[in-house]
């Protein structure tokens, strides 16, 4: 049986577009809901240094930016779709950061 792929149907594990409001902070519950992960997962990602919350004084309440929510969605996608553990995810983020740093350096050198 050959299943035909319809280009209009999204892939079941594909990342959905996420358009958060700029300059808005989200609670842990809201961030978890928007990212499609559990609260515990977000806290694990924070502890691993993959997601950075904004800590609100005076009580140290964790809130999250749209970037943190997008990052949590990426992590969850890589974990579920590709079976990567957090060490591999961290390696991917480090490599992406290095690629961006090298691109910036190349742009700087070209503009001289």
5: DSSP letter: P
The pLDDT score that the predictor gives to residue 75 is: 96
Entry field: residues in the chain: 112
Q: The pTM is what?
A: 0.72
Residue 80 has pLDDT above 70, yes or no: yes
Rounded Cα distance between 46 and 71, Å, is: 11
45: DSSP letter: H
Structure tokens, 81: 């779709």
Instruction: Give the residue extent of every domain in the chain.
Output: 26-110
pLDDT band (50, 70, 90) for residue 13: low
Question: Would you identify the CATH topology of the domain 26-110?
Answer: Multidrug-efflux Transporter Regulator; Chain: A; Domain 2 (1.10.1660)
The pLDDT score that the predictor gives to residue 7 is: 52
State the average pLDDT for the chain: 85
Weakest mean pLDDT among 5-9, 18-22, 46-50, 56-60: 5-9
Decide the pairing of beta strands 26-27 and 54-56.
unpaired
19: DSSP letter: -
Which one, of 37, 49, 62, lies nearest residue 89 by Cα?
A: 49
pLDDT above 90 coverage of the chain, percent? 71
DSSP 22-34: TT--EEHHHHHHH
pLDDT tens sequence across 55-73: 877 888 899 999 999 999 9
Place of tokens 């579920």: 80
């Amino acid at each position: 049986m050959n299943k035909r792929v319809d280009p209009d149907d999204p892939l079941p594990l594909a990342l959905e577009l996420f358009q958060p409001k700029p300059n808005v902070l989200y609670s842990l519950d809201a961030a978890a809901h928007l990212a499609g992960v559990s609260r515990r997962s977000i806290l694990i990602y924070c502890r691993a240094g993959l997601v950075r919350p904004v800590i609100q004084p005076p009580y140290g309440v964790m809130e999250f930016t749209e970037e943190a929510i997008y990052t949590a969605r990426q992590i969850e996608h890589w974990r579920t779709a590709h079976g990567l553990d957090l060490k591999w995810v961290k390696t991917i983020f480090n490599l992406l950061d290095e690629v961006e740093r090298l691109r910036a350096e190349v742009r700087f050198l070209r503009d001289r």
